[in-house]
Amino acid sequence: MASIDRFQVVKEPELEIIEHWFRNEETRRRMDGMLPLDVWYARVNEDENDPVIMAYDGQLPAGMVVMEFVEERAYIGLIVNPLYRLQGYGKQILKKLLGDPDFTRVREWAACIEEDNRISLACFQAAGFTLEDTEPDEDGFLTLILRT
């Protein structure tokens, strides 16, 4: 059974774990904007208000969440460890994150997901997100929203 017991801010040594996830073709195809990881990490690590956190099931890194806060809206990106996909970890990560007291100030969560990424769309919808619009934007992304 998928469970997430803790979150931890991603530190530079954990990039090695995430780099391993990018050997998975689906991860690389969907998240190639994060490559090269060291350059991406240096950029996102500059802003302590937009955290990158690792989700753990015991000692096992189950996934990573990237957040960007814009006023009362938080944009969220999620990568599930390829070894744990389709086992409920994505949904568990989202549920744990949405209930985390550190993020109660967020009034609206938003996820931008490629129209053909059915697994990710289903994951966010299972966590309570709904489509903002049924048509994708000019880049082929659908926006899902959860208001708290």
What domain count does the chain have?
Answer: 1
For residue 47, pLDDT beyond 90: no
Q: Is residue 33 part of a domain?
A: yes
Question: For the domain that residue 73 is a member of, what is the CATH number?
Answer: 3.40.630.30
CA distance 29 to 107: 31
Q: Is residue 69 part of a domain?
A: yes
Q: What pLDDT does residue 44 have?
A: 84
The model's confidence at residue 7, banded by pLDDT at 50, 70 and 90, is very high
Per-residue exposure over 18-49, b if at least 16 CB sit within 10 Å of its own CB, e if not: beebbebeebeebbeebeebeebbeebeeeee
Q: What pLDDT does residue 70 have?
A: 84
Q: Could you tell me the two tokens for 105?
A: 């100030």
Q: What pLDDT does residue 87 have?
A: 92
Q: Is residue 119 part of a domain?
A: yes
Containing structural domain, residue 26: 6-147
Q: Give the pTM.
A: 0.89
pLDDT tens by residue, 55-78? 999 999 999 999 998 877 899 999
Q: Is residue 1 part of a domain?
A: no
